[in-house]
Amino acid sequence: MSLLSAHQFPLKKIFSDDFQFLIPEYQRPYSWGVEQAEELLTDLTEYMDSYKDTPVPEMPEYFLGSIVLIKKDGFPESEVVDGQQRLTTLTILLSVLRELSANEDVKNSLGSYVLQKANLLEGTQAKYRLSLRKRDNDHFRTHIQDPGGLEKLTEDLDLTDAKLNITRNAMCFTDALIGKDQEYLQSLASFLAMKCVLVVVSTPDFDSAFRIFSVLNSRGLDLTATDLLKADIIGQIQETDRDQYTQKWDSLEEKLGRQRFGELFGHIRMIHRRQKPKGTLRKEFTESVKYQSPEQFVDGMLEPYGRAFGDIVSASFSSAQDAYRVNGPLKWLNRLQFSDWMPPAIEFLTRHRNQSVVDVLAPFFADLERLAHSMLIRKVGINDRIERFSKLTDEVIKGADLSESSSALQLSMREMSQTLSALEGPLYETHSPRALSTLLLRIDGFLVDAGAEYDVATVTVEHVLPQNPKPESEWVQWIDKPSDRTHWVDRLGNLTLLDRKRNSSASNYDLKRKLESYFLREGKTSPFAMTFDFKGATEWNVGTLSNRQKRLIEAVESGYRLEEGRAYKSSVKVSAQKGSTTVAQFRVTGFNGQINGLIDVTEEGLVLRKGAKGRYFHTEAGYSYRTLRDQLISDGKISRNGDDIEVLEDIVFESPSAVSGVLLGRNDNGMRSLRKVDTGENYRAWLNSLVAS
């Protein structure tokens, strides 16, 4: 049975022979930065100063928090489960005070809190009161704990994050205290030793210490979900292998950085859970992410996922050739203000890293960029994005054909059409500044080259035609109708990019001055291709705007392969002019006539009409539409009688393969199966004829 103890001790007792603290290898790196160090010192000095007329022994105690230890009663060895940040920072502060103190007695007293002196009579050797993880410990001892070590400190940016934090915090304390007189420094040292207290919670075994640690830190203290998961996972590994796997964990965390590392765990949760988060990361991760052993999780999941994630966020995938075909789309994906696309990207790169760049990787990431940027343009909401990308992750895991029109990776004709329609709208009004600058940068990239790169610190969006032109200006002369100015002012044809902050006073310049001093910058080449439209421009009228808008939209249409959407949109428009909502009618048949369904192509999508007959059975283990079909049955939209099904109401589908797959009861290429009622041509041939015309 574990013996739990909790006692309050002053720091003179904490940093005494009663405790010898060890930070275990499974702990995260030391992460307190200058902000936390300054806050601690400010809190301490302000508290002490508020009792400046009171002798230190008579001051009230100052509570520094709690620490959790694995410690056997009567033995000083103490494994720190929680409290590394406080103990390390306090040791740095005590070491700085020791170095700044001129009085040898004070210096020696402070030194004893950092280093236990050797005792020849008792046969004990000198020992450090606190030992950090192996990779940080030598730096900590040499530059902090050893007398004179602070003089060797330099802010070497090649240091690990933990060593850099130690260095900067020591410099921070030194800078803050070096101007204080010796009396003040001695009072502060006495206050720390005698009146600053910690609650020490100790237990002799890991399990009970970890339970205490989890309870304390689930209530919002400074550990993150990944720290808790680390204790969960690494704590299960046999002690003989624990250091090895701790090092693997920490190496990846240091490589990605603490924030990115936390994001990685969120993406891993989404890969396995594939639905919008509803609980804490730790809870849902534990429930959803299954692995054979903690070692298998680190080796087979965390490291390969981490490698893929690192390549993706830095757009630094490497291969013998053609890596730019992957990194190009990744750079554009990383500019998006949402990252819902990341889980399928991580899963795909992890699974297919060693396959052909040209045939496998490049097509996937190009299509992923196309899908995500279409969502940006169409302003697809977070719930719909998560649902779509979760479906895509599922397809990646199952090895589905992602080039199929029914795949979640591909845009439907309706989505293509909606993308083009959104591009024609008042984008400045409908989209956020960040979304709009991302979109215009992508269009600019299409105008130059798919691999275009932009090394500009500031990107803003500006109107050519001012939003509020003066009545006597040339702008009003060129576009005299207020309705025309209102129509065009916020649309793509009137927007351009600046590589500097907007200048509100310059926005109303006349055209020549605006182009020379604002857009083209008096002889300096603009980094943006879309500003080339302005060279030689002498007038800015409706025709100019219309032509420019057409050119920019055509760049997107070509770059993202939206020609089918253009054809579909035109067909819908023609049908509407004829008083019909149906663009074309198709039929799918099979199984000696027992399968028969009529499908109308409309602006809403492919509408499977009421009364269609189909089959319930399926002959493939990987039948892609089982969940969709069974959900339609559950919703009462389709009825089942043995192996027969019947459509009870009109149902809208996004893809032809989904329609035929539900009716046929098997995976199917609807592009071939759907036949036009009046001509007999298949869906693909009809699409091709639309695009051609």
Query: Is the per-residue pLDDT at 135 higher than 90?
Result: no
Of 39-43, 190-194, 257-261, 532-536, the one with minimum mean pLDDT is 532-536
pTM higher than the cut 0.75:
no
Q: DSSP letters along 404-461, please?
A: STTSTTSPPHHHHHHHHHHHTS-HHHHS-HHHHHHHHHHHHHHHH-TT-----S--EE
Of 12-21, 191-200, 278-287, 315-324, the one with minimum mean pLDDT is 278-287
Q: Which residues contact 448 (CB under 8 A, 6 or more apart)?
A: 529
Token reading at 41: 């010192």
Which tops the pLDDT comparison, 466 or 515? 466
Query: Is the per-residue pLDDT at 628 higher than 80?
Result: yes
Residue type, position 271, single letter: I
Bin 104: left if φ > 0, else alpha if -120 < ψ < 50, else beta: alpha
Per residue in 337-352, pLDDT (tens digit) is: 999 999 999 999 999 9
For 567, the 3-state DSSP assignment is helix
Nearest CA to 382 among 335, 321, 341? Answer: 341
Query: Is the per-residue pLDDT at 219 higher than 50?
Result: no
Nearest CA to 589 among 673, 669, 521? Answer: 673
Residue type, position 563, single letter: E
- 178: exposed, middle or buried (C-beta count within 10 Å: 0-12, 13-18, 19+)? exposed
For 676, the 3-state DSSP assignment is strand
Token reading at 101: 């103190």
- 567: exposed, middle or buried (C-beta count within 10 Å: 0-12, 13-18, 19+)? buried
Of 41-50, 106-115, 543-552, 577-586, the one with minimum mean pLDDT is 577-586
Which tops the pLDDT comparison, 630 or 576? 630
Q: What is the DSSP letter of 583?
A: E
Cα–Cα separations (whole angstroms), residue 71 to 18, 79, 80, 207, 670: 11, 7, 9, 12, 68
Residue type, position 45, single letter: T
Residue pair 262/309 in contact (Cβ under 8 Å)? The answer is no
Per residue in 284-339, pLDDT (tens digit) is: 898 899 999 999 999 999 999 999 999 999 999 999 989 999 999 999 999 999 99
Residue whose token pair is 């160090």: 37
Residue type, position 584, single letter: A
